[in-house]
Chains A and B, each alone.
Chain A
Amino acid sequence: MTISEKDVRHVAGLARLRVEEQEIEPLVRHFEAILGHFAALSKAREEGRLNLDGVDPFLFSEREAPPLREDEPVRSAVRDDVLAAAPERKDSFFVVPRILEEE
C-alpha cells in the first residue's frame, strides 16, 4: 500500500484540517506505518490463518434493548450557559462568517 502526498492532502481536506507543508511528509510515513501493520491481516488471510468469511462485522456483546423513556417534554435551561461559551454571538445566535453573497 503506497500513500501519496496527494492522498494526505485530500484526507486533510475531508477532515477540515489545515496541514502545513512540513507536516505532509511525516504524515505519509505515518500512514504507511499504520497501514503496514494492517497489511499483516491481508497476509494472514492469504495464508489461511485468518478467515473472515461470513463474520458479522458488528457482533455485539450481551446488550439490553435500547432504553426508552416516557415521551414527556422537559424544560432545558442551558441555552444561556451554552451561548456564553460562544467565540462570537449575537442575541441567541452563534456568529459565523457570511456563507451567502449579499444581493
Chain B
Amino acid sequence: MELFALSAAEMVRGIKEKDFSASEVFASCLSRIEALEPELSALLALTAGRGREEAARVDGMIARGGEPGPLAGVPVVLKDNMCLRGVPATCASRILEGWIPPYDAKAAELLAGAGAVFAGKANMDEFAMGSSTEFSAFHPTSNPWDTGRVPGGSSGGSAAAVAAGYVPLALGSDTGGSIRQPASYCGLYGLKPTYGLVSRWGLVAFASSLDQIGPFARTVEDLALLLSVIAAPDARDGTCSRRERPDYTAPLAASSLRGKRIAVVKELDAMRSSVDSEVRRVLENTLNLCRDEGAEIVEVSLPVSLEFGLPCYYILAPAEASSNLARFDGVRYGLSRREDSLLDLYFSTRGAGFGAEVKRRILTGTYVLSSGYYDAYYLTAQKVRSLMKAEFRKAFGRCDLIALPTAPTPAFKKSELVDDPVRMYLADVFTLPVNLAELPALSLNGGFTGGEKPLPVGVQFIAPQWGEPELLNAAAVLERRLGKAPIAPLGAAAEGGNSR
C-alpha cells in the first residue's frame, strides 16, 4: 500500500517505529495531490515547502529520540478560513485575495504542536456560505466519487482532499452543516463538535453563535485522534469552554451498543417525499445495524426543528454574517478600491470583493436587523431557536443519540442548484438544527447508492451537549460493520468521468 493511503494512526505508528519517515509520507501525499489536483481542484494553496520542512523536523526529532506528538508527521489540510501564519487565507473570496495572516489559528497552533505537517489550504464556498463549494470565487471543486458532481460545502475542498487520499486528515468549519454535508457527499467521517469545544481563534467568523471547527477523517480512530488535539480550552475565544476534555480515543474500545437508546425522528416520515429513497434505505440499514449491535431503537419528536429550523437559520446566520462581514471595508487589509470619498471606498470595495451569495446573505441579514423588522424576523427566529433547544433537551431525556439523514440527497450535479440558492439551502435541513441547538453531531458513511457510479450516503448521529464520546462510541461500533471510509477510486475508475 502506498503511504498516502494509510490512516493517520498508521502513519504515526510507522514514523515513530521508523518503518518509514515523515518526509516519505509527505512526498507520497504530495505526488498524490499533484496527480489528482488538476481533476479535483480541492485546494487553494499548496504548502509544499513548509510541509517538507515540518516533516524533516519531525524526522530529526525522532532520530534524536524525541517525542514529536500524537500527529507526528501526519499531513493535514486546513479549510481556507483558518489562519496559518505566512500563508494566504482567502476564505475563497476576492476581498481577501492576497491577504497573509500574521498569526496562527488556535487549531493550527495545536496541530503544529502535535507534530502535524501542513500540506495546503482547502477550497470552500466563499466565507463558508454555500452547500456545494461552487460559490468559491476561484474555482469549483469536484467530488472524487463522481467528478461531475459537487463535493458538498462549504468545506468541500477539505472533504474532497481526504476522500481522494491527498491527506488522511483535514479541518473544516460547520455553521449549518458545512462539515457533515460534505462528509456525507464524499463518504467520510465528519464531526461538528459541541459549540465551545474547539477554539475559534483565527477562524474567520461567519455566524459567531453557530460556527465551530471540526475534523474530517476516513477512520473513527483518526477522527478521535484529531479531535483530541484540537479540543482544548483557549482564553482568546471567550466562548471556548474551560471544561476538561475527556480522552476521545477511549470510546473506540466499545464492543457493542448494548444499553444505548438510539432515536429515530417521528417527523421524518412526513418528509418522505423530500428525502431521496436511497438516503432512506441507507438510514434504515444503519439503524438495523445499530439494533443488531444491541441498541434499542426509540422514537422522539422534533417538530419545531424540522419544520422551522431552516427559515430560522436563514434569518439568524445572515444576520450574524452581515455584522461579522462589516469588517471587510478596504481600509486595513485585503482588496481596496481607492475612491475619492471614504464612503465610496467602502461601497466599491465591498461591491467588487464579495460574490453573489455573500451579497445575498449580507443584504438578507441587514434587512432582518433593520429598523422596524427586528422583532418580526430576528427576535422571532431567536425564540424559535430557544424552542428548538428545549425540544432537543426533552428528546435526550428519552435517548442517547438521535439518528437522521445527513442530507436529503446524495451529492448533486455541478450547476444543478447554483442559480436557485433557496433550493440549495434545503441541503442543510437536517444539519442546521444541530448548530442552532449548539449540539455535537457526526456524519458517517452508511453506504452507497446503487447504479453505475455509486455515490456515498451519510447518516448523522446527534448527541447531547459535550456528547462527543457517545458519538465516537457508536461510530466505532458501526465502523466494524460498515468498514472504514474508502479512498475514492480515482484514476482508472475515474476514466470516462466527465468533468461537467
- Report which A residues bind B (CB closer than 8 A): 7-8, 10-12, 14-20, 23, 27, 30-31, 33-35, 37-38, 40-41, 44, 50, 52, 55-62, 64, 66-67, 69, 78, 81-82, 84-88, 94, 96-97, 99
CB contact between B99 and one of A41, A69, A85, A94 (< 8 Å): that residue: A85
Collect the chain B residues with CB atoms within 8 Å of residue A31's CB: 363-364, 367
B residues whose Cβ falls under 8 Å from a Cβ of A: 99-100, 102-103, 195, 235, 238, 241-243, 304, 307-308, 310-312, 314-315, 322, 326, 329-336, 338-348, 350-352, 354, 356, 359-360, 362-364, 366-367, 370, 377, 379-387, 389-390, 421-422, 437-438, 465
| Pair B347/A18 contact, Cβ less than 8 Å | yes
- List the B residue with the shortest CB-CB distance to A33: B422
Which of B343, B360, B437 is the one whose CB lies under 8 Å from A61? B437
In angstroms, Cα B379 to Cα A10, docked, is 21
Is the pair B422, A50 in contact by a Cβ cutoff of 8 Å?
A: no
Q: Which of B341, B370, B379 contacts A57 (CB 8 A)?
A: B379
Report yes or no: B314 in contact with A37, Cβ–Cβ below 8 A.
yes
Is the CB–CB distance between A7 and B367 below 8 Å? yes
Taken together as a complex, chains A and B put the C-alpha atoms of A92 and B147 apart, in Å, by 49
Specify the chain A residue showing the minimal Cβ separation from B243: A64
**B370 is contacted by which of A11, A17, A40, A58 (Cβ under 8 Å)?**
A11
A1 to B433, CA, bound (A): 25
- Of all chain A residues, the one with the shortest Cβ separation from B354 is A17
C-alpha gap A18/B384 in the complex (Å) = 33
Q: A94 to B338, alpha carbons, bound, how many Å?
A: 13
A-B contact pairs, 29 of them (CB 8 A): A11-B366, A15-B322, A16-B347, A17-B351, A18-B350, A27-B360, A31-B367, A34-B314, A38-B314, A40-B307, A44-B307, A44-B308, A50-B304, A50-B387, A52-B384, A55-B383, A56-B383, A57-B379, A81-B103, A85-B99, A85-B102, A85-B334, A86-B331, A86-B333, A87-B333, A87-B338, A88-B338, A96-B345, A97-B340
Nearest-neighbour CB distance to chain A for B243, whole angstroms, equals: 7
Residues of B within 8 A of A82 (CB): 102, 332-333
Q: In angstroms, how far is the closest chain A Cβ from the Cβ of B289?
A: 30
Determine the distance from Cα of A52 to Cα of B380 in the docked complex, in whole angstroms. 8
* Residue from A17, A41, A50, A60 in contact with B359 in the complex, judged by beta carbons closer than 8 Å: A17
Q: Given the complex of chains A and B, what is the CA–CA distance between A7 and B322 in angstroms? A: 16
- A11 to B386, Cβ gap below 8 A? no
**Contact A19 B364, beta carbon cutoff 8 Å:** no
Contacting pair A87 B336 (CB below 8 A): yes
> Which residues from A are CB-within-8-Å of B338?
87-88, 97
Partner of A16, one of B312, B346, B421: B346
Q: In angstroms, how far is the closest chain A Cβ from the Cβ of B330?
A: 7
* CB contact under 8 A between A17 and B333, given known A37-B314, A59-B386, A97-B345: no
User: A67, B347: Cβ atoms under 8 Å?
Assistant: no
Q: Please give, as numbers and ranges, the residues of chain B lying within 8 Å of A78 by CB-CB distance.
A: 102-103
How far does the alpha carbon of A47 sit from the alpha carbon of B57 in the complex, in Å? 66
List the 3 closest pairs (A to B, CB-CB), nearest first: A18-B351, A87-B336, A81-B102
- Give Cα A34 to B311, complex, Å: 7
Is the CB–CB distance between B235 and A69 below 8 Å?
Answer: yes
Give bound CA distance, A40 to B385, whole Å. Answer: 15
| Contact yes or no, A11 B363, CB < 8 A | yes
Q: Which residue of A lies closest to B85 (CB)?
A: A81
* Assembly CA distance A61 to B492 (angstroms): 49
Contact B351 A96 (CB under 8 A): no
Evaluate whether A41 and B366 lie within 8 angstroms (CB atoms) in the complex, with A33-B422, A55-B386 already known.
no
List the B side residues contacting A99 at CB < 8 Å.
341-342
**Which of A23, A38, A87 sits near B311, CB closer than 8 Å?**
A38
CA distance A24 to B408 in the complex (A): 31
> A13 to B242, alpha carbons, bound, how many Å?
41
Residues of A within 8 A of B362 (CB): 15, 17
Besides A86-B333, A88-B336, 12 other CB < 8 A contacts? A11-B367, A15-B366, A17-B350, A17-B351, A37-B422, A38-B315, A62-B465, A64-B242, A82-B333, A85-B334, A94-B332, A99-B341
- Minimum CB distance partner of B310 in chain A: A37
